[in-house]
Amino acid sequence: MPVVSLKMDGLDDLLALLNQVSAKVESALAMEAALAGAEPVLAQMHVNVAKDSGNLDSQLAIRKVRKRRGRAAVMIGTGTRDYEGDGYYGSFVEYGYFRGKRDSRQIKGSSRGANTQQRKWVPPQPWARPAVDSTRSEATEVMRSVLRAGIEAEARRR
């Protein structure tokens, strides 16, 4: 799946409060915010994805990728990498592909995939990128509110 990162501006006051929060709480808050911000993107992906067989739609999920001090990452998609997992064909749908038999004699040479005139190009039907683009501001706002609420709750405890 395409790699997407969101950057939030205007969080100076939150960062000042975050400096008072312990590393354990900071990591937990970062993951909580990342998971909350991924929800609107996943919902839009479910709307955008082609539902011919329904298999691709059923494979869409949010997965935790990493969590370090103050940083968290989640993956929204079908598997761990492009063209892998049960919903492997999601990348084909997203990026497009050639349909038809490849001539292996032509692929071995320097002209890789040269037999394209006999193969039909199936154009892309993007579903992941448009979902990210259309929900970027909503996801950012959700993450910002989760971070703010968590940091303020932690500050009140101290």
Total-model pTM: 0.74
Which pLDDT score is estimated for 111?
52
Residue 107 lies inside a defined structural domain of this protein: no
> pLDDT digit string (tens) for 9-30?
556 666 666 666 676 777 888 8
> pLDDT digit string (tens) for 53-73?
778 888 899 988 876 666 788
Residue 116 lies inside a defined structural domain of this protein: no
In this prediction, residues 40-62 reach a mean pLDDT of 89
Residue 5 lies inside a defined structural domain of this protein: no
Which pLDDT score is estimated for 110?
46
pLDDT above 70 covers a percentage of the chain that reads: 68
- Our count of domains for the chain comes to 1
Least confident span in 6-10, 66-70, 125-129: 6-10
Distances 22 to 15, 25, 145, 146 between C-alpha atoms, Å: 13, 5, 19, 17
Could you tell me which residues come within 8 angstroms of residue 112 by beta carbon, excluding any fewer than 6 positions away? Answer: none
CB atoms within 10 A of CB 120: 9
8 A C-beta contact, residue 46 and residue 56: no
